[in-house]
Amino acid sequence: MEVFSNLFMGLQVALTPINFIFALCGVVLGQVVGILPGLGPIVTIAVLLPFTYSLDPVAAIMAFSGIYYGSQFGGAISAILVNAPGTEAAIITALEGYPMAKAGRAGKALATAAVSSFVGGIIGTILLTVLSGPMTDMVILFAAPEYFALMIFALVCISGFSENTTLPKCCFSICVGAAIGTIGIDSATGTTRLTFGNTSLYEGIGFVIVAIGMFAFAEVLRNLTNIHSEHKTEAVRVSGDVKISFAEVKELLPTQLRSAITGFFIGVLPGVGSTTSTPLAYLTEKKFYPKGNWGNGEVRGVASGEASNNSCAMGALVPLLTMGIPGSGTTAIMLSAFMILGIQPGPLLFQNNPEMVWGLIASFFIGTCILLAINLPLVKYCAKIVEIPTNFLFMSVLLLAVVGSFSVSQRFFDVWMMLLFAVVGLLFSKFKFPLTPCLVSLLLIDSIEVNLSRSFVICDHSFQAFISRPIVALFMFLAVAVIVVPRAFKLYKKKKAQA
């Protein structure tokens, strides 16, 4: 019952005019950036962070969260109509939705995507609401050694589950982020570290500068090769009404529920996002309905992909809100937004600031309903967004990146640093180093150092005392398992195939 009273309190906060307007702006903007291939929630939140310095924290966080889950809704539109997923999470939607659109069933594909996104979003938010209480009750018992082990576990998960790269490259990316994080004055001792006497580096290199450089600016530079060819994208016309009958919704509901639940729990794991959850949900549905028209416009494919990615986005917010641990690039930027606005996510947030956190959770319910209301009747107009010239969009990101990095400390040194990190971001892409581990470790290194230091004192400088703490031992065991088990399984499969 406590959950309901908390949620009711949250609804009161979320429905205040200013919070409602910000949440609405967030979801609409999220929907727009989700539709636009090349612009994702990471880029958008990174360049918009400086706009929030003087805003009300609750309203600003609601807007950022709206951008995050709104983009999951929007990604489906360009995936279905242009075969260009606006977000990585919409790749599966493109696989089944685009053939549907080509066959003259664009309206049905879009309606299915909207309803499935809604179901996924609502299921994800319900699970977030139910699980956040027990999670915070557990995490609040953690002392420094447990926190240290938890953060190491999160970094190991991000390395272990990263796709399209190797484990050593992920670890090196983590080292780069941590190395950047050690620059500046050490908060515990007041010693300057690696500043070379440059006073501009005393405060360290801000997370926002690195995020804007490596994600936003570098993303524009990475996409430059597409500008000449992509700016006149033509979408498949939406023929017929964008609607889905009640019988069809009922038929798709088991698919949506299964995919949403899978997506949510995958999203909770750090480093595992919708790029894993959507194919998994899709493959599960393929096994449930082997006679479906898979690959040629199967409506269940669209439903599974959308329900899964929207629920996964909510799942990723669980470690962020309850433990203050980001599991992806977007949640890392959201965590920095929390910190900039003077809010420290974690178990104490639920104790000290329940209006804010429950208001945020309530805003997810409201935002998801708004997105459904936007997507069903207005989707034809939303589709026009894909036709916006790419060069104007990218120029907007470039200009916002400059002014955003300047506004961090009102000095051009930060803009030069941002430019430097854009080049570093390009180098990372060139040599296939993942960006997310770098960003997450940059954000966590300060806490890791503080908690390691405290752990030494608590455990009397004894490694044995440290590792014999049950929760620490559990996290360390899980960290080893995350690295060893998938590789051992792969090796076993390879040997079995050879035999």
Partner 1 sequence: MKSKKELKQEIFVGIGAIVASVIYFCMAFSIKQKGLMLTTSANSLTPDTVPKIIGLIGIIVGFAIMIPAIIKYKKEAANLPDVAEDEVKIPFMTKDRIVIIASMCAYLLLIEILGYIIATILLAVGLLTYLEKGNYKKNILFAVIFVVACFLIFNDVLQIWLPLGIFFE
Q: Do residues 62 and 23 touch, judged by C-beta distance below 8 A?
A: yes
Residue 23 binds to partner 1 (criterion: CB under 8 A): no
Minimum CB separation of residue 490 from partner 1 in Å reads: 15
Residue 172 binds to partner 1 (criterion: CB under 8 A): yes
Show contacts of 295-298: CB within 8 Å, 24+ apart.
295/95, 295/96, 295/99, 296/99, 297/96, 297/97, 297/99, 297/100, 297/102, 297/103, 297/105, 297/109, 298/96
Residue 398 binds to partner 1 (criterion: CB under 8 A): yes
Pick the stretch among 23-31, 203-211, 303-311, 422-430 that binds partner 1 (CB under 8 A).
422-430
Q: Could you write out the DSSP letters of every residue in 275-287?
A: HHHHHHHHHHHHH
Q: Which of 10, 26, 30, 50 binds partner 1 (CB under 8 A)?
A: 50
Residue 339 binds to partner 1 (criterion: CB under 8 A): no
Q: Which of 5, 134, 193, 198 binds partner 1 (CB under 8 A)?
A: 193
CA distance 23 to 387: 26
Residue 427 binds to partner 1 (criterion: CB under 8 A): yes
Minimum CB separation of residue 51 from partner 1 in Å reads: 7
CA distance 129 to 115: 21
Identify the bridge partners of residue 192 per DSSP, sorted by sequence position.
185
Write the burial class of residue 229 (CB in 10 Å: 0-12 exposed, 13-18 middle, 19+ buried). exposed
- 3-state SS record for 145-211: HHHHHHHHHHHHHHHHHCCCCCHHHHHHHHHHHHHHHCCEECCCCCCEECCCCCHHHCCCCCHHHHH
Is the Cβ of residue 3 or residue 167 nearer to partner 1 in the bound state?
Answer: 167
Residue 169 binds to partner 1 (criterion: CB under 8 A): yes
By CB under 8 A, the residues from 211 to 240 that bind partner 1 are 220-221, 224-225, 227-228, 231
Pick the stretch among 327-335, 370-378, 384-392, 481-489 that binds partner 1 (CB under 8 A).
384-392
- Interface mask toward partner 1 for 270-309; x: CB under 8 A: ----------------------------------------
Q: Which of 134, 240, 295, 389 binds partner 1 (CB under 8 A)?
A: 389
Residue 355 binds to partner 1 (criterion: CB under 8 A): no
Minimum CB separation of residue 226 from partner 1 in Å reads: 10
Q: Which of 452, 471, 478, 483 binds partner 1 (CB under 8 A)?
A: 452
Residue 186 binds to partner 1 (criterion: CB under 8 A): yes
Pick the stretch among 94-102, 148-156, 169-177, 291-299 that binds partner 1 (CB under 8 A).
169-177
CA distance 442 to 186: 14
Q: Burial code of 97-117, b = ≥16 C-beta within 10 A, e = fewer?
A: bbbbbeeebbbbbbbbbbbbb
Q: Do residues 379 and 114 touch, judged by C-beta distance below 8 A?
A: yes
Residue 483 binds to partner 1 (criterion: CB under 8 A): no
Separation in Å, CA 163 to CA 205, 325, 369, 437: 28, 20, 33, 12
Residue 465 binds to partner 1 (criterion: CB under 8 A): no
Q: Which of 51, 265, 289, 294 binds partner 1 (CB under 8 A)?
A: 51
Residue 426 binds to partner 1 (criterion: CB under 8 A): yes
Q: Do residues 107 and 296 touch, judged by C-beta distance below 8 A?
A: no
CA distance 314 to 268: 8
Tokens of 220: 């524009």
Q: Which of 190, 197, 290, 342 binds partner 1 (CB under 8 A)?
A: 190
Minimum CB separation of residue 291 from partner 1 in Å reads: 33
Residue 392 binds to partner 1 (criterion: CB under 8 A): yes
Is the Cβ of residue 234 or residue 460 nearer to partner 1 in the bound state?
Answer: 460
Tokens of 101: 């659109």
**Residue whose entry in the numeric block shows the structure tokens 């908390």:** 6
Minimum CB separation of residue 479 from partner 1 in Å reads: 14
CA distance 385 to 372: 18
Q: Do residues 274 and 121 touch, judged by C-beta distance below 8 A?
A: no
Q: Measure the CA angle with vertex 393, ends 392 and 394; round to 5°.
A: 95
Residue 462 binds to partner 1 (criterion: CB under 8 A): no
Is the Cβ of residue 178 or residue 362 nearer to partner 1 in the bound state?
Answer: 178
Q: Do residues 110 and 238 touch, judged by C-beta distance below 8 A?
A: yes
Residue 498 binds to partner 1 (criterion: CB under 8 A): no
Half-sphere exposure (Cβ direction) of 479: Cα atoms closer than 13 Å: 17
Is the Cβ of residue 250 or residue 464 nearer to partner 1 in the bound state?
Answer: 464
Residue 396 binds to partner 1 (criterion: CB under 8 A): yes
Q: How many residues form the binding site for partner 1 (CB under 8 A)?
A: 64
**Site residues (vs partner 1, CB under 8 A):** 50-51, 53-54, 166-169, 171-172, 175, 178-179, 182, 186, 188-191, 193-194, 220-221, 224-225, 227-228, 231, 389, 391-392, 395-396, 398-400, 402-403, 406-407, 410, 412, 415-416, 419, 422-423, 426-427, 429-432, 445, 448-450, 452-454, 456-458, 461
